Amino acid sequence: MTIHSPFVLWFTGLSASGKTTISQAVCKYLLSHDIRRIEVFDGDVIRTNLSKGLGFSKEDRDTNILRVGWVAQRLFNHDVSSIISVISPYANIRNQVRTSIGKGFIEVYVSTSLEECEKRDPKGLYQQARAGLIKGFTGIDDPYESPINPELNIDTSKLSVEACTDKIFTYLSQNNYIK
């Protein structure tokens, strides 16, 4: 397997929707096929290395997303693909990143429902948000603007991890990103 054309796989969706799980499975699969020209950016990587000093206001969230998009673009310009998992709740900013990348930007909407995400709540964040201990939490008291025409739509409550990654690789293959 080789990357024929670089891409930015942009996983967007609510907290606990399964973005990181799926993106890690995709990454693992690529590495197991000896594909190394990739970088993975998930919430932890971004918080540690790129967003220190930013909060959760709309402005700070936008700055964060544009920053991640900018780094992905730098890599993309040199044929390095990125796999990115960020809630990225605002459609307008996601579309700015889309425009900056152009062909190669693949929006993967992880559309797992709020009810399901809240049921999972692995870090207890929804519970804290419901109790008012966390303010501006996406899906509770801050909006999530669903993608209108995402390249892919994945609901991790209906598909297994394998089925989700299959769907992604089918897309990548059919659109000549990988061969």
Give the interface with its own copies as residue ranges (CB under 8 A): 37, 39, 49-50, 52-54, 60, 63, 66-67, 70-71, 74-75, 78, 80
Helix (H, G, I), strand (E, B) or coil at 83: strand
Q: How far is the CB of 22 from its own copies (least distance, A)?
A: 22
State the catalytic residue, choosing from 17, 51, 85, 88.
Answer: 88
Whether residue 88 lies in the annotated active site: yes
Comparison of 60 and 166: residue with beta carbon closer to its own copies? 60
- Give min distance, CB of 136 to its own copies, in A: 17
Q: Take residue 102 and report the two structure tokens written for it.
A: 């152009």
User: Residues in the chain, how many?
Assistant: 179
CA neighbours closer than 13 Å in the CB half-sphere of residue 16: 18
CB 6 within 8 Å of CB 76: yes
Q: Nearer Cβ to its own copies, position 75 or 134?
A: 75
Contact indicator for 63, 77 with CB cutoff of 8 Å: no
Least gap, CB of 86 to its own copies (angstroms): 16
E-assigned strand segments in the chain: 8-12, 38-41, 81-85, 105-110, 152-154
Q: Which is nearer to its own copies, 77 or 170 (CB)?
A: 77
Residues with active-site annotation: 88
